[in-house]
A and B are shown apart, each in its own frame.
Chain A
Amino acid sequence: MMPAIQVATGSQLSRRGFIKASALATGGLMVALYLDPPAAAQEGAPPPPRTYPPDAFVQILPDGKIVITVNRLEVGQGAQTALPMILADELDADWSQVTAQLAPAGELYKDPLIGIQMIGGSCSIPNSFQQYRELGAKTRAMLIGAAADRWGVTADQCRTKDSVVYGPGNRSARYAELTEDAVRRPAPAVVQLKSASQFRLIGKPVRRLDSRAKCDGSHKFSLDLDLPGMLIALLARPPVFGGRVRGVDDREARNVSGVRDIFEIPLVSGSAIAVVADRFWAAKQARDRMKVDWDLSGIDHPDSLQLFARYTELAKTPGNVAVRLGDEHAIDQIPASDRIQAEYEFPYLAHAPMEPINLTVRNDRDRAEAWVPSQIPTWEQAALAEVLGLKPEQVTYHVLSAGGSFGRRGTTDSHFVREAAAIAKRLPGAPVKLIYTREDDMKSGYYRPMFVHRVEVGIGPDGMPIAWKHVIVGQSFVIGTGAPQEAILVKNGVDKLATEGTDDSPYTFPNMHVSVHHPKVNVPTLSHRSVGYGHNSFVRETLLDELATRAKYDPIAYRLKLLKPDAKKFRTSLTLLDQKSGWRHRLPRNHASGIACSEYNSTCVACAVEVSIENKRPRIHRATLAVDCGLAVNPLSIENQMQGGLVFGLTQLMANGAITLKDGRVEQSNFDRYAPPYMPDAPVSIDVHIVPSAEQPTGVGEPPVPVIAPAVVNALFRLTGKRYRSLPLTTV
């Protein structure tokens, strides 16, 4: 997931920030976005390597505790444990003494490859693996240097273990004793990293650092922040996106005890009324008693049924071409009996993290301070500064861990930060916590867009596909943002985030034609965990299942046969899955298995599920996953992400797993009508198998999400004879 850039004025972001795209040795494409002023670099020249001073990332306290600063928001994905693990391993730290803290917004904490501070695209490990290894190794080298000096020996006469430097003749010194001397030494420019056989933590199942505090109520999330004099703000938002306040009757609202102020603020689109009180309940009571007259003229009132009808029509016509391989008319030569035609519908999805959007801002006029569960601190800090008329460096921007995100907190327009800033602007001196109630959060937009796919597959005499013709219809949240990112992601009017999973299909289709329509709809949309793969992999893997069934092939064998030669991780994960899912050939009556695989940003996941139908719903008895993510940094964390991501991917199969609109209004407001998976919906048993690998680690937060829904409906086909192409799955 590559977020688009909103160029902000008066900020560190240069209007002419440029992009250098470099192909990695593995053949993947990484975008390096450099936001330094143009004079500092030339297009085509390699960027100057950034130096990360260890002392900005590691603190060794006198009592031996080691605090490692993590340059990523912790949203549950485990970066707050994995990155310290990596650093601590190279550092030879005593892991039992290690704790982590989240880095505030800061130059040094930018993603070393992407160039802004952010999480997204499951890139925490891949992009900071090397960085944190070097930080650990450099710190170790400085500590050894300090010890060597103290003892009058050479560095190579020393070794380290568990936060202690050992020298010749039984000498030893704890890291805590050496820190003062060590920090005075320059950090070495080059360090020796461990070989894999020397890892003590990397590659081992290591438990999370933040578990205990999250199990005893002591861990503080953003919503838990309590500051003296803090005020609570709620927003009354327009019922249709882009609506504006025409008038407000707040007499009753102002009478609620504890209410401080009520005023209008601009939204990114439209306007809202802020209600500020000293307690949440007072703010809510006041907001409930307010009558707002909304001007909803001049804006589109989207309707889901109408949109699906419109998209279905569009899908019948070719759009902007995304893939043109071979002969685009080859499909027409294939007799109808050897063709499959399928139309798919995917609804809007809400991220619905357990912790609804909230953040706290204090406006001190010539400075500001903010506490935010922030997915993109660089942009948000700049946006906050812009609204308050400050420079970003005048904003102290703390990053607090988040109760989930799945992409919701990674907006391109920093909307909730702008809203909080607009409120704080009116109330200087007081920390103002803007809270979205669950209803606000669910109706606030920024959904995974709805999509319609229309696919025609032509099959050859050997049962293998000869031609694949595919039209995709769905909104782009990148086009029109006018940022350098747009130049990378959008080609020929096609937003890659809408086609990934199709345009990078691992299967061989001699003839392939993919085109896309990106309608403009008055519903804000956003990256949602696994982005384009969430729907594209569903289409691809269910059609693959149809092809395999027609060809009377085992679904894994069919895929292996069809894989492109260079689809290495698909091959390894499918092969491992085959080995670990022998149970699919020994199923009880009324149980069936289904297979699907997907990649996300160079990690591949293959999945087999065992399904029966209970009470007219799919009951998933078992899921077996095989994942190839290169070097498995923390197998325990990978297992956790695989198990959790599978459940997240089930959301779009739930009977009430859709956001719908009628007359411009979002119809769902809470978990009563938008019901994500609960425990009974989740697989009863999940076993995860990791392909052994020494290659560069790739991320795992998003890769499992796209595989579960197609695997389940592929299994359902074997039970009901029906293909399920319209989500959510309301009936089986």
Chain B
Amino acid sequence: MLLRSSRTGSVFDQAAPNANRILRSVTVILVACGAGLLLMSFASPRAQHGDRARTRTEGLAAWQQVYSVLTSPRCINCHTATNYPQQGDDRQRHFANVERGLRGQGVPALQCVSCHQKVNADSTGAPGGHDWHLAPLSMKWQDRNDQILSSAEVCRAVTDRSKNHNLDGPGLLKHHTEEPLVLWAWHPGRRPDSSLRTVPPLTHEQFVEATRRWVEAGMPCPQAP
């Protein structure tokens, strides 16, 4: 629109001198804004598919993909609202009454690391990863009845910087790309019966990609119902 206005310079030329001055100022401001927006779009991470900004619709669709991973068992089992983690694809309460403890690392005689080592122990069926612990309560994605929160609720929690360790969009993307316990979800190892644990519904690459698209769209959240 701005460009079209600029091309019809004759309209400004035919206006009264004061109006011309005002119009000229407005034009300058508008052009400046437009240039600024253009600059911003160059500065943010680019998608592979074209050079356009992400629409809210695209962002929400990307979020749904992110949500599908966050709420899959390998992730959500440690993002509980209670004082216990869950286990298994059926998300049962973790056996042996293991508890969250003060810092999400268990309690003195029953810490997470009492069983979970730094890597998966496929021979015994104990999953493992660097610094195995529960996500903080601020990052719960279930309610106290172990019911998974809605897409809107999880999105709000994930984007709330007072709850998410002060992560902005790029910070979230980095978390999803690099955090060892996040990466674990795609290499979750074998169960005690030697069967492979299931992985989230997207590959890690797809998950990172969806995160990126969502962040590019400004991290839109669906409206609460």
Residue contact B194 to A672, C-beta cutoff 8 Å: no
CB distance from A171 to the nearest CB of B (A): 58
0/1 per residue, B97-129, Cβ < 8 Å to A? 100000000000000000000000000000000
Number of interface residues, chain A, beta carbon within 8 A: 9
CB distance from B215 to the nearest CB of A (A): 38
Residue contact A672 to B97, C-beta cutoff 8 Å: no
0/1 per residue, B183-225, Cβ < 8 Å to A? 0000000001110000000000000000000000000000000
Name which residue of chain B comes closest to A289, CB basis.
B194
Tell me whether A263 is interfacial, beta carbon within 8 Å. no
Residue contact A678 to B97, C-beta cutoff 8 Å: yes
Residue contact A680 to B87, C-beta cutoff 8 Å: no
Tell me whether A695 is interfacial, beta carbon within 8 Å. no
Residue contact B194 to A678, C-beta cutoff 8 Å: no
0/1 per residue, B148-159, Cβ < 8 Å to A? 000000000000
Chain A residues with Cβ under 8 A from B193's Cβ?
669
Q: Is the interface of A mostly helix, strand, loop or mixed?
A: loop
Residue contact A671 to B95, C-beta cutoff 8 Å: yes
0/1 per residue, A678-717, Cβ < 8 Å to B? 1110000000000000000000000000000000000000
CB distance from B137 to the nearest CB of A (A): 16
Q: Complex: how many Å from CA A671 to CA B97?
A: 11
Tell me whether B16 is interfacial, beta carbon within 8 Å. no
Tell me whether B96 is interfacial, beta carbon within 8 Å. yes
Size category of the binding interface on chain B: under 10
Chain B residues with Cβ under 8 A from A672's Cβ?
87, 92, 95
Name which residue of chain A comes closest to B82, CB basis.
A615
CB distance from B89 to the nearest CB of A (A): 13
Tell me whether A288 is interfacial, beta carbon within 8 Å. yes
Q: Which residues in chain B, 127-157, are within 8 Å of chain A measured between CB atoms?
A: none
Tell me whether A675 is interfacial, beta carbon within 8 Å. yes
Q: Complex: how many Å from CA A669 to CA B194?
A: 14
Q: Complex: how many Å from CA A680 to CA B96?
A: 10
CB distance from B50 to the nearest CB of A (A): 50
Chain B residues with Cβ under 8 A from A675's Cβ?
95
Chain A residues with Cβ under 8 A from B92's Cβ?
672
0/1 per residue, A175-209, Cβ < 8 Å to B? 00000000000000000000000000000000000
Residue contact B87 to A288, C-beta cutoff 8 Å: no
Q: Complex: how many Å from CA A285 to CA B131?
A: 29
CB distance from B98 to the nearest CB of A (A): 11
Among A288, A670, A671, A680, point to the contact of B194 (Cβ < 8 A).
A288
Q: Which residues in chain B, 69-100, are within 8 Å of chain A measured between CB atoms?
A: 87, 92, 95-97
Among A288, A669, A670, A680, point to the contact of B97 (Cβ < 8 A).
A680
Q: Complex: how many Å from CA A671 to CA B192?
A: 12
Chain B residues with Cβ under 8 A from A680's Cβ?
97
Q: Which residues in chain A, 283-312, are within 8 Å of chain B measured between CB atoms?
A: 288
CB distance from B100 to the nearest CB of A (A): 13
Name which residue of chain A comes closest to B94, CB basis.
A672
Name which residue of chain A comes closest to B84, CB basis.
A615
Q: Complex: how many Å from CA A288 to CA B191?
A: 13
CB distance from A411 to the nearest CB of B (A): 27
Name which residue of chain B comes closest to A672, CB basis.
B95
CB distance from B138 to the nearest CB of A (A): 21
CB distance from B96 to the nearest CB of A (A): 7
Name which residue of chain A comes closest to B95, CB basis.
A672
Chain A residues with Cβ under 8 A from B194's Cβ?
288
Name which residue of chain A comes closest to B99, CB basis.
A680
Name which residue of chain B comes closest to A671, CB basis.
B95
Q: Complex: how many Å from CA A670 to CA B95?
A: 10
Chain A residues with Cβ under 8 A from B87's Cβ?
672
Name which residue of chain B comes closest to A681, CB basis.
B97
Q: Complex: how many Å from CA A41 to CA B92?
A: 61
Q: Complex: how many Å from CA A680 to CA B87?
A: 20
Name which residue of chain A comes closest to B83, CB basis.
A615
Name which residue of chain A comes closest to B88, CB basis.
A672
Chain B residues with Cβ under 8 A from A671's Cβ?
95-96
Q: Which residues in chain A, 621-672, are within 8 Å of chain B measured between CB atoms?
A: 669-672
> What residues of chain B have their CB less than 8 Å away from a CB belonging to chain A?
87, 92, 95-97, 192-194
Q: 6 shortest A-B CB distances, which residue pairs?
A: A672-B95, A678-B97, A680-B97, A288-B194, A671-B95, A675-B95
13 A-B residue pairs with Cβ-Cβ distance under 8 Å, sorted by A, are: A288-B194, A669-B193, A670-B192, A671-B95, A671-B96, A672-B87, A672-B92, A672-B95, A675-B95, A678-B96, A678-B97, A679-B97, A680-B97
